[in-house]
Structure 1
Amino acid sequence: MAIEKVKEYFKQFGMEDRIQEFDVSSATVELAANALKVEPARIAKTLSFKKDEHALLVVTAGDQKVDNRKFKDYFGIKAKMLTPGEVDEMVGHSVGGVCPFAVSEDVEIYLDESMKRFETVFPACGSSSSAIELSCEELYKYSRAKGWIDVCKGYN
Protein backbone atom coordinates (compact mmCIF):
# COMPACT_ATOMS: atom_id res chain seq x y z
CA MET A 1 0.00 0.00 0.00
CA ALA A 2 1.28 3.48 -0.91
CA ILE A 3 0.82 4.91 2.58
CA GLU A 4 3.40 2.42 3.84
CA LYS A 5 5.87 3.72 1.23
CA VAL A 6 5.18 7.30 2.40
CA LYS A 7 5.62 6.33 6.06
CA GLU A 8 8.92 4.66 5.20
CA TYR A 9 9.96 7.75 3.23
CA PHE A 10 9.25 10.08 6.18
CA LYS A 11 10.93 7.66 8.62
CA GLN A 12 14.36 8.72 7.27
CA PHE A 13 13.58 12.24 8.53
CA GLY A 14 12.06 11.07 11.83
CA MET A 15 8.68 12.43 10.72
CA GLU A 16 6.54 9.34 10.16
CA ASP A 17 4.63 10.08 13.39
CA ARG A 18 3.37 13.35 11.87
CA ILE A 19 1.28 11.44 9.32
CA GLN A 20 -2.39 11.52 10.27
CA GLU A 21 -4.74 8.68 9.35
CA PHE A 22 -8.51 9.06 9.47
CA ASP A 23 -11.51 6.77 9.92
CA VAL A 24 -13.19 8.74 7.13
CA SER A 25 -12.19 9.41 3.54
CA SER A 26 -9.95 12.36 2.70
CA ALA A 27 -9.91 11.56 -1.03
CA THR A 28 -11.19 14.97 -2.15
CA VAL A 29 -10.37 18.49 -1.03
CA GLU A 30 -13.73 18.81 0.72
CA LEU A 31 -13.47 15.44 2.47
CA ALA A 32 -9.89 16.16 3.58
CA ALA A 33 -10.90 19.59 4.90
CA ASN A 34 -13.74 18.01 6.87
CA ALA A 35 -11.48 15.26 8.28
CA LEU A 36 -8.86 17.81 9.32
CA LYS A 37 -11.32 20.55 10.33
CA VAL A 38 -9.53 23.18 8.21
CA GLU A 39 -10.58 25.39 5.32
CA PRO A 40 -10.47 23.61 1.94
CA ALA A 41 -7.87 26.05 0.56
CA ARG A 42 -5.27 24.63 3.01
CA ILE A 43 -5.51 21.16 1.48
CA ALA A 44 -2.49 20.71 -0.80
CA LYS A 45 -4.02 18.85 -3.72
CA THR A 46 -1.68 16.99 -6.04
CA LEU A 47 -2.67 16.99 -9.71
CA SER A 48 -1.14 14.45 -12.11
CA PHE A 49 -0.32 15.38 -15.70
CA LYS A 50 1.40 13.63 -18.59
CA LYS A 51 4.69 15.02 -19.87
CA ASP A 52 6.25 12.94 -22.62
CA GLU A 53 6.30 9.43 -21.19
CA HIS A 54 6.36 10.32 -17.51
CA ALA A 55 4.24 12.02 -14.85
CA LEU A 56 4.34 15.66 -13.84
CA LEU A 57 2.82 16.57 -10.47
CA VAL A 58 1.59 20.05 -9.63
CA VAL A 59 0.64 20.63 -6.00
CA THR A 60 -1.81 23.52 -5.52
CA ALA A 61 -3.95 25.05 -2.79
CA GLY A 62 -7.28 23.26 -2.48
CA ASP A 63 -9.30 26.21 -3.77
CA GLN A 64 -7.35 26.59 -7.02
CA LYS A 65 -7.77 25.35 -10.57
CA VAL A 66 -4.98 25.08 -13.12
CA ASP A 67 -5.05 27.77 -15.80
CA ASN A 68 -4.44 25.95 -19.10
CA ARG A 69 -2.73 28.97 -20.70
CA LYS A 70 -0.33 29.48 -17.76
CA PHE A 71 0.40 25.75 -17.72
CA LYS A 72 1.20 25.68 -21.43
CA ASP A 73 3.28 28.85 -21.19
CA TYR A 74 5.34 27.36 -18.34
CA PHE A 75 5.73 23.74 -19.48
CA GLY A 76 5.38 24.13 -23.24
CA ILE A 77 2.72 21.40 -23.38
CA LYS A 78 -1.05 21.16 -23.05
CA ALA A 79 -2.29 20.25 -19.55
CA LYS A 80 -3.36 16.62 -20.02
CA MET A 81 -4.31 14.84 -16.82
CA LEU A 82 -3.37 11.20 -16.31
CA THR A 83 -6.07 8.54 -16.22
CA PRO A 84 -6.50 6.74 -12.88
CA GLY A 85 -4.60 3.73 -14.26
CA GLU A 86 -1.76 5.93 -15.47
CA VAL A 87 -1.59 7.63 -12.06
CA ASP A 88 -1.11 4.25 -10.33
CA GLU A 89 1.46 3.10 -12.87
CA MET A 90 3.43 6.31 -13.45
CA VAL A 91 3.26 8.00 -10.02
CA GLY A 92 3.02 5.04 -7.64
CA HIS A 93 -0.05 6.24 -5.76
CA SER A 94 -3.77 5.88 -6.44
CA VAL A 95 -6.23 8.69 -7.13
CA GLY A 96 -7.49 10.02 -3.79
CA GLY A 97 -4.10 9.55 -2.13
CA VAL A 98 -1.73 11.06 -4.67
CA CYS A 99 1.01 13.03 -2.98
CA PRO A 100 4.47 14.33 -3.83
CA PHE A 101 6.26 11.85 -1.53
CA ALA A 102 7.69 8.40 -2.31
CA VAL A 103 6.79 8.67 -5.99
CA SER A 104 8.35 6.93 -8.99
CA GLU A 105 11.87 8.16 -9.77
CA ASP A 106 11.12 9.98 -13.04
CA VAL A 107 8.19 12.02 -11.70
CA GLU A 108 8.68 15.80 -11.86
CA ILE A 109 7.15 17.77 -8.97
CA TYR A 110 6.26 21.47 -8.88
CA LEU A 111 4.54 23.51 -6.18
CA ASP A 112 2.09 26.29 -7.02
CA GLU A 113 2.55 29.69 -5.40
CA SER A 114 -1.10 29.61 -4.26
CA MET A 115 -0.08 27.66 -1.15
CA LYS A 116 2.40 30.28 0.09
CA ARG A 117 -0.41 32.34 1.69
CA PHE A 118 -0.68 29.71 4.44
CA GLU A 119 1.73 28.91 7.28
CA THR A 120 0.96 25.21 6.84
CA VAL A 121 -0.81 23.03 4.28
CA PHE A 122 -2.01 19.42 4.28
CA PRO A 123 -0.97 17.10 1.44
CA ALA A 124 -2.15 13.48 1.32
CA CYS A 125 0.22 10.67 2.26
CA GLY A 126 -0.46 7.91 -0.25
CA SER A 127 -3.94 6.81 0.83
CA SER A 128 -7.47 8.19 0.62
CA SER A 129 -7.56 8.65 4.40
CA SER A 130 -4.28 10.34 5.31
CA ALA A 131 -2.50 13.68 5.43
CA ILE A 132 0.48 15.45 6.94
CA GLU A 133 0.70 19.07 8.08
CA LEU A 134 3.77 20.79 6.61
CA SER A 135 5.01 24.34 6.27
CA CYS A 136 5.56 25.45 2.68
CA GLU A 137 9.31 25.19 3.28
CA GLU A 138 8.92 21.61 4.53
CA LEU A 139 6.68 20.74 1.60
CA TYR A 140 9.31 22.06 -0.81
CA LYS A 141 12.11 20.16 0.95
CA TYR A 142 10.38 16.81 1.41
CA SER A 143 8.61 16.76 -1.95
CA ARG A 144 11.95 17.40 -3.66
CA ALA A 145 10.10 19.81 -5.92
CA LYS A 146 11.87 21.35 -8.90
CA GLY A 147 10.48 24.74 -7.95
CA TRP A 148 7.63 27.09 -7.14
CA ILE A 149 5.45 28.04 -10.11
CA ASP A 150 2.32 30.08 -10.85
CA VAL A 151 -0.07 28.05 -13.00
CA CYS A 152 -3.44 28.59 -11.29
CA LYS A 153 -6.41 30.71 -12.33
CA GLY A 154 -6.91 34.02 -10.60
CA TYR A 155 -4.01 33.64 -8.24
CA ASN A 156 -1.28 36.33 -8.33
Structure 2
Amino acid sequence: MHGVHPPVRWLDEAASTAALAVAALGIEPGQIANSLVFLLDGEPLLVLTSGGHRVDTQWLGGELGGTIGRASASVVKAATGQTIGGVAPVGHPRALRTVVDEALAEYGTVWAAAGHAHTVYPTSASELVRVTGGVLRAVVPPA
Protein backbone atom coordinates (compact mmCIF):
# COMPACT_ATOMS: atom_id res chain seq x y z
CA MET A 1 0.00 0.00 0.00
CA HIS A 2 2.24 2.79 -1.25
CA GLY A 3 5.04 1.99 1.17
CA VAL A 4 2.61 1.61 4.05
CA HIS A 5 2.18 -1.66 5.90
CA PRO A 6 -0.51 -0.94 8.48
CA PRO A 7 -1.85 -3.51 10.90
CA VAL A 8 -5.17 -4.40 9.25
CA ARG A 9 -7.86 -5.32 11.73
CA TRP A 10 -10.56 -7.84 10.87
CA LEU A 11 -13.96 -7.04 12.41
CA ASP A 12 -16.47 -9.79 13.21
CA GLU A 13 -19.30 -7.59 11.94
CA ALA A 14 -19.15 -5.53 8.75
CA ALA A 15 -18.33 -1.87 9.40
CA SER A 16 -19.88 -0.54 6.20
CA THR A 17 -21.03 2.69 7.90
CA ALA A 18 -19.32 5.09 10.28
CA ALA A 19 -21.79 4.19 13.04
CA LEU A 20 -20.97 0.48 12.73
CA ALA A 21 -17.23 1.16 12.71
CA VAL A 22 -17.52 3.41 15.78
CA ALA A 23 -19.38 0.69 17.66
CA ALA A 24 -16.90 -2.02 16.62
CA LEU A 25 -13.79 0.01 17.46
CA GLY A 26 -15.02 1.97 20.49
CA ILE A 27 -13.87 5.31 19.08
CA GLU A 28 -15.36 8.72 18.32
CA PRO A 29 -17.26 9.21 15.03
CA GLY A 30 -14.73 11.85 13.98
CA GLN A 31 -11.99 9.21 13.96
CA ILE A 32 -13.57 7.33 11.06
CA ALA A 33 -12.15 8.20 7.64
CA ASN A 34 -15.13 7.44 5.41
CA SER A 35 -14.15 6.76 1.79
CA LEU A 36 -16.82 8.33 -0.39
CA VAL A 37 -16.66 8.37 -4.17
CA PHE A 38 -18.40 11.21 -5.97
CA LEU A 39 -18.37 12.47 -9.53
CA LEU A 40 -16.83 15.90 -10.05
CA ASP A 41 -17.93 17.01 -13.50
CA GLY A 42 -18.19 13.35 -14.47
CA GLU A 43 -14.79 12.26 -13.12
CA PRO A 44 -14.39 10.13 -9.96
CA LEU A 45 -13.45 12.07 -6.84
CA LEU A 46 -12.51 10.27 -3.63
CA VAL A 47 -13.37 12.18 -0.47
CA LEU A 48 -11.95 10.81 2.78
CA THR A 49 -14.27 12.48 5.24
CA SER A 50 -14.61 12.43 8.99
CA GLY A 51 -17.41 10.22 10.24
CA GLY A 52 -18.39 13.19 12.40
CA HIS A 53 -20.21 14.99 9.59
CA ARG A 54 -21.51 14.82 6.02
CA VAL A 55 -19.79 16.28 2.96
CA ASP A 56 -21.51 19.43 1.70
CA THR A 57 -21.30 18.51 -1.99
CA GLN A 58 -22.68 21.80 -3.28
CA TRP A 59 -20.18 23.83 -1.24
CA LEU A 60 -17.22 21.52 -1.95
CA GLY A 61 -18.03 21.45 -5.66
CA GLY A 62 -17.91 25.24 -5.68
CA GLU A 63 -14.57 25.18 -3.86
CA LEU A 64 -13.19 22.71 -6.41
CA GLY A 65 -14.61 24.63 -9.36
CA GLY A 66 -17.16 22.09 -10.52
CA THR A 67 -20.33 20.18 -9.76
CA ILE A 68 -20.32 17.16 -7.47
CA GLY A 69 -22.83 14.33 -7.68
CA ARG A 70 -23.10 10.89 -6.13
CA ALA A 71 -21.42 8.00 -7.90
CA SER A 72 -23.43 4.82 -8.47
CA ALA A 73 -22.27 1.51 -7.01
CA SER A 74 -21.07 0.45 -10.47
CA VAL A 75 -19.03 3.66 -10.88
CA VAL A 76 -17.49 3.16 -7.41
CA LYS A 77 -16.56 -0.43 -8.30
CA ALA A 78 -15.08 0.59 -11.67
CA ALA A 79 -13.11 3.50 -10.17
CA THR A 80 -11.79 1.71 -7.08
CA GLY A 81 -12.03 -2.01 -7.75
CA GLN A 82 -13.84 -2.20 -4.39
CA THR A 83 -17.45 -2.14 -3.26
CA ILE A 84 -19.21 0.58 -1.30
CA GLY A 85 -18.75 0.01 2.43
CA GLY A 86 -15.15 -1.14 2.20
CA VAL A 87 -13.40 1.29 -0.16
CA ALA A 88 -9.81 1.80 0.94
CA PRO A 89 -7.96 5.09 0.37
CA VAL A 90 -5.53 3.35 -2.02
CA GLY A 91 -5.26 0.21 -4.13
CA HIS A 92 -7.42 1.45 -6.99
CA PRO A 93 -6.89 0.60 -10.67
CA ARG A 94 -5.72 4.18 -11.26
CA ALA A 95 -4.99 7.15 -9.04
CA LEU A 96 -8.08 9.12 -8.07
CA ARG A 97 -8.27 12.82 -7.34
CA THR A 98 -8.58 12.81 -3.56
CA VAL A 99 -9.69 15.25 -0.89
CA VAL A 100 -8.84 14.44 2.74
CA ASP A 101 -11.16 16.14 5.24
CA GLU A 102 -9.18 18.54 7.42
CA ALA A 103 -11.36 17.51 10.39
CA LEU A 104 -9.47 14.19 10.43
CA ALA A 105 -6.32 16.10 11.42
CA GLU A 106 -7.91 16.79 14.82
CA TYR A 107 -7.10 13.19 15.78
CA GLY A 108 -3.73 11.48 16.08
CA THR A 109 -5.21 8.21 14.85
CA VAL A 110 -8.09 7.72 12.45
CA TRP A 111 -9.43 4.48 11.01
CA ALA A 112 -9.96 3.79 7.32
CA ALA A 113 -11.44 0.88 5.40
CA ALA A 114 -8.90 -1.64 4.14
CA GLY A 115 -10.71 -2.77 0.98
CA HIS A 116 -13.41 -4.94 2.56
CA ALA A 117 -16.38 -4.15 4.81
CA HIS A 118 -14.85 -6.26 7.59
CA THR A 119 -11.38 -4.67 7.52
CA VAL A 120 -10.03 -1.37 8.82
CA TYR A 121 -6.61 0.03 9.62
CA PRO A 122 -5.24 2.85 11.77
CA THR A 123 -3.65 5.82 10.03
CA SER A 124 -3.52 9.62 10.24
CA ALA A 125 -4.72 12.52 8.13
CA SER A 126 -1.17 13.34 7.07
CA GLU A 127 -0.53 9.73 6.07
CA LEU A 128 -3.75 9.71 4.03
CA VAL A 129 -2.60 12.82 2.17
CA ARG A 130 0.79 11.24 1.53
CA VAL A 131 -0.40 7.86 0.28
CA THR A 132 -3.23 9.20 -1.87
CA GLY A 133 -1.49 12.29 -3.24
CA GLY A 134 -4.59 14.12 -2.08
CA VAL A 135 -5.15 17.52 -0.57
CA LEU A 136 -6.16 18.34 3.00
CA ARG A 137 -9.12 20.71 3.00
CA ALA A 138 -12.52 21.40 4.48
CA VAL A 139 -15.46 19.43 3.07
CA VAL A 140 -18.07 21.59 4.79
CA PRO A 141 -18.26 25.39 4.94
CA PRO A 142 -16.69 27.14 7.94
CA ALA A 143 -19.08 27.50 10.87
Please report the TM-score for the alignment, with normalisation by the length of structure 1: 0.83
RMSD across aligned C-alpha pairs, in angstroms? 1.8
Is 1:109 paired with 2:98? Answer: yes
Aligned-residue sequence identity (percent) comes to: 26
Task: State the partner residue of 1:23.
Answer: 12
1:58 partner SS: strand
Q: C-alpha offsets along residues 12-31 of structure 1, whole Å, 9 cap, x if unaligned?
A: 44x15x11111111110011
2:45 partner SS: strand
Task: State the partner residue of 1:119.
Answer: 108
Q: Which amino acid aligns with 2:36?
A: L
Q: Structure 2: any 5+ residue segments left out of the alignment?
A: none
Could you tell me whether the CA contact under 8 Å between 2:100 and 2:125 is conserved in 1? no
Task: State the partner residue of 2:140.
Answer: 152
Is 1:68 paired with 2:57? Answer: yes
Residues paired across the two proteins, number: 143
Task: State the partner residue of 1:46.
Answer: 35
2:117 to 125, 128, 134: 128
Q: Which has the higher helix share?
A: 1
Question: Per-residue deviation at 1:53?
Answer: 4.5
Please report the TM-score for the alignment, with normalisation by the length of structure 2: 0.89
In 2, distance between residues paired with 1:104 and 1:70?
28
Question: Per-residue deviation at 1:106?
Answer: 4.2
Task: State the partner residue of 1:6.
Answer: none
Q: Which amino acid aligns with 1:149?
A: R
